[in-house]
Amino acid sequence: MCRLRRYMLAVAVFGIGVVQIGRSAAADSRLPPLTPEVCRIIDREYPSLDALYKHLHTHPELSYHEEQSGARMAKELKELGFSVTEHLGGHGVVGILKNGDGPTVLVRADMDALPVVERTGLPYSSKVRVRDKEGNEVGVMHACGHDIHMTCWIGTARVLTSMKDRWKGTLVFIGQPAEEVGAGARMMLDDGLFKKFPRPDYALALHCDSFRPHGTIAFTEGLALANVDSVDILVKGKGGHGSAPHTTIDPIVLAARIVLDLQTLVSRETNPTDPAVVSVGSIHGGSKHNIIPNEVKLQITVRSTKDSVRKNLLDGIKRIAEAAAAGAGAPAPVVTVHPEEFTPALLNEPKLTRRITGLFRELLGDDNVTERPPVMGGEDFSRYGRAGVPIFMYFLGTQAPEKVAAAEKEGKSLPSLHSDSFAPVTEPTIKTGVLTMSQAVLSLMGK
């Protein structure tokens, strides 16, 4: 793609729109000066990057099990001259490349996949099946684009090592495990990421966006993503025969009451101007039509953007569950909040965000770099920000523009992240990711 139009304006190069056809990027003063050189390297490396992406896509691994993915990322960095440490915080990878005095910049890619059976129909679709921690057989798919993230990460490393005469400082490239369960960043920090290795002045990451056209970037300054908590409730009752409910304490009815009462936490106990979500994603109880069980299990996701709201929601869940049980004369429920899977809200540092998005606008054109409102998804990249490092995560369009336009015209939604049908357009998505991340790092470390 970089070579297709002989280094025209980046917006034309990336197929976003034809702008000033025939005019080279090198001749356009609005583009960062290293754009042609970066594009040449991307063109040279793209065939192997495409092969790497397809390998990663067909060999996904669940959270906490990223052994082969981590090994491949480590191998790629070693071949580029990085000093590499493996198995930090599980299967985490840290690559260090020092190139004189200058800023220290961290670039992160997450490596884990999801328990999803892929239904994209792609020739390189995942056929992997494994047992999850409960012993159930599940499919495994990179349904959140982490294979794109890893590929762009390696592509960026190749660009930067090919241009060592153009920057000074220290690169810290981390391959992070267990993002999907909100644990990987915490595990790497707890294992000494910022103590055993150079502490970054800046931390950067990109993330796939399943709704935006390729060649475009979206970002949010400040609050971008929410606090995310996982809560389990074990609702206890007294089992018995379905024909004699008066001799039992029915935990299914009790669970239903709890589910309904939980909705008031958002609708009646949270300020309407404060975003909040309490969603019961799983209910399991009972084994047969005519048996009232002893217990029912609920699994809940809780989203908030303020720590004070988060506390009120978590306290409220426990209060509501216990009150419902007391009202039914049932044993006290067991309410478990999983701190190991807590993902704090992500706040992009404003000054860094403006600096990098200004560069992106020069690179891709104003129309292709858009601000998006905060969403209630979560991302544990936020933890590096909470550790005191200025962070910036941006969102990479992955879909064919005509497909996006058709969906908008028809009022339909494209497959979302975590969908079994999410299928990013690899080229030019990967090239856009490598170009933007490489230029972002060069802008922070350039001579």
Report the catalytic residues.
Answer: 112, 179
Q: Are 54 and 124 in contact (CB under 8 A)?
A: yes
Among residues 264, 201, 256, which one has the least CA distance to residue 233? 256
Q: Are 313 and 335 in contact (CB under 8 A)?
A: no
DSSP state of 7: S
Among residues 159, 110, 130, which one has the least CA distance to residue 378? 110
Q: Are 392 and 348 in contact (CB under 8 A)?
A: yes
Beta-bridge partner residues of 69: none
Q: Are 79 and 192 in contact (CB under 8 A)?
A: no
Among residues 224, 223, 229, which one has the least CA distance to residue 316? 229
Please tell me whether the peptide bond between 428 and the residue prior to it is cis, using omega within 30 degrees of 0. Answer: yes
Structure tokens that stand for 161 in this block: 């090592």
Which residues make Cβ contacts (< 8 Å) with residue 334, sequence separation at least 6?
232, 233, 234, 236
DSSP state of 27: G
